[in-house]
């Protein structure tokens, strides 16, 4: 079994599948599911299937991970698309985030597909996770049928992420009055922005989360002024805000607007924070297996899910998006066993 898993992982890593360019990887995933005699559905570069014996009276569990990867960064010393084996390590672009988890979930689905479960099982290999694109999960979530809960395959080191921070990107524009620099006339928009940035750095949102901590934010870009001798009348900057589950995007935007002179505009309010209720079957399963639970500061397709979900997968988050990205072979073996144990225990929890 492990031989087939490793071969599938090597094949997937060998296919360049940058965000928005997953067609060849999706073709391969569709072919593999067909080889297993599954009824395959596809929309764009998203591929999914449902296990046999679907019963609309049962809850439905989604197994999801993504096909896409980030671009190749500088610093690679191994071929990024070769899945190089050195000792107990496997190197390759996207192998940690999240190829290993995707392939392990795929094989877990295959092993569970013929079992008489207390839940329905859907497997989805989705696109455009890395760039939070609209042609990925967002494009197919309403096509999957009724979903009651999800397990998202991402590198968590075998721990269970029961909460995840959301994202709010804010474009800010400060207005001033143009003037001649030599005369020190006008109102300098850059100075307005500096005052706003200081307020942002000093501001603390009142509501914190036991799992996700406080809302965090950083100014990540600034642009103002063109000529050395003109006081700028406009200056733009960008705020990256990571929300906990106790705030909505609008609440955060409103609080920040109250302390800033610049006009604030949200780019999007799509990427919401998430948190799982402690009594949920997914949480009970994690407790029964004595798996550590935590709140994740990094974002995944959980942000686009309206149903309860967890992140659980192979590898470590800090290896993602780095040169010579890798997993350990024992992590792959342990991860496959963990998915099996989790799905079987979840069956017991749902059965009650």
Flag whether the pTM goes above 0.75.
Answer: yes
CA distance 224 to 180: 16
Count of all residues that appear for the chain in the document: 352
* Cβ atoms of 334 and 156 closer than 8 Å: no
Helix, strand, coil percentages in the chain from 3-state DSSP, rounded to 5: 35, 25, 40
Confidence of residue 115 (pLDDT cuts 50, 70, 90): confident
Q: Specify the residue for token string 């979530």.
A: 141
Confidence of residue 116 (pLDDT cuts 50, 70, 90): confident
Six token digits for residue 157: 């080191």
Six token digits for residue 230: 């003109």
Closest CA to 121 of 321, 350, 306: 350
Average pLDDT (59-88) is: 96
Which domains can be identified in the chain, with CATH numbers?
2-164+273-351 (3.40.630.10), 166-266 (3.30.70.360)
pLDDT digits (tens, 9 = 90+) for 316-352: 999 999 999 999 999 999 999 999 999 999 999 999 8
Average pLDDT (131-148) is: 96
CA-based diameter of the chain, in Å?
A: 81
* Cβ atoms of 296 and 198 closer than 8 Å: no
Q: What is the DSSP string of 219-255?
A: EEEEEE-S-TTEE-SEEEEEEEEEE-TT--HHHHHHH
pLDDT at 114: 79
Residues facing 274 on adjacent strands: 164
pLDDT digits (tens, 9 = 90+) for 242-266: 999 999 999 999 999 999 999 999 9
pLDDT at 2: 86
Q: Name the CA radius of gyration of the chain, rounded.
A: 23
pLDDT at 188 over 80: yes
pLDDT digits (tens, 9 = 90+) for 155-185: 999 999 999 999 999 999 999 999 999 998 9
Q: What is the DSSP string of 84-106?
A: EEETTEEE-TTIIIIIHHHHHHH
pLDDT at 203: 97
* Cβ atoms of 350 and 59 closer than 8 Å: yes
254-273: b (≥16 Cβ within 10 Å) or e: eebeeebebebebeeeebbb
Give the rounded percent of residues in the chain with a pLDDT score beyond 70. Answer: 100
* Cβ atoms of 73 and 324 closer than 8 Å: no
């Amino acid at each position: 079994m492990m031989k087939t898993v490793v071969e599938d992982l090597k094949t997937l890593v060998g296919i360049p599948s940058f965000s928005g360019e997953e067609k060849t990887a999706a073709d391969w995933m569709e072919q593999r599911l067909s080889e297993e005699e599954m009824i395959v559905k596809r929309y764009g570069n998203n591929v999914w299937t449902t296990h046999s014996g679907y019963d609309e009276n049962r809850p439905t569990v989604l197994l999801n991970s993504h096909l896409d990867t980030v671009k190749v960064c500088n610093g690679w010393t191994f071929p990024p698309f070769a899945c190089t084996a050195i000792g107990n390590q496997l190197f390759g672009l996207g192998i940690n985030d999240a190829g290993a988890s995707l392939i392990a979930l795929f094989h877990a689905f295959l092993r569970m597909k013929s079992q008489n479960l207390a839940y329905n099982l859907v497997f989805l290999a989705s696109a455009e996770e890395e760039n939070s694109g609209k042609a990925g999960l967002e494009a197919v979530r309403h096509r999957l049928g009724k979903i009651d809960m999800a397990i998202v395959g991402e590198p968590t080191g075998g721990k269970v992420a029961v909460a995840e921070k959301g994202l709010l990107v804010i474009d800010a524009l400060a207005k001033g009055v143009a003037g001649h620099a030599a005369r020190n006339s006008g109102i300098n928009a850059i100075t307005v922005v500096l005052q706003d940035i200081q307020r942002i750095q000093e501001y603390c949102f009142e509501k914190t989360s036991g799992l996700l901590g406080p809302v965090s934010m950083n100014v990540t870009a600034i642009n103002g002024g063109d000529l050395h001798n003109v006081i700028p009348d406009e200056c733009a900057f960008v705020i990256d805000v990571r929300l906990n589950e106790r705030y909505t995007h609008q609440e955060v935007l409103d609080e920040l607007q109250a302390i800033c002179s610049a006009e604030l505009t949200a780019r999007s309010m799509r990427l919401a924070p998430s948190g799982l209720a402690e009594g949920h079957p997914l949480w009970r399963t994690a407790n029964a297996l004595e798996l550590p639970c935590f709140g994740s500061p990094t974002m995944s397709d959980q942000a686009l899910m309206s149903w309860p979900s967890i992140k659980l997968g192979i590898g470590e988050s800090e290896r993602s998006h780095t040169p010579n990205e890798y997993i350990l072979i024992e992590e792959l073996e342990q991860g496959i066993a963990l998915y099996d144990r989790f799905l079987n225990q979840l069956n017991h929890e749902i059965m009650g």
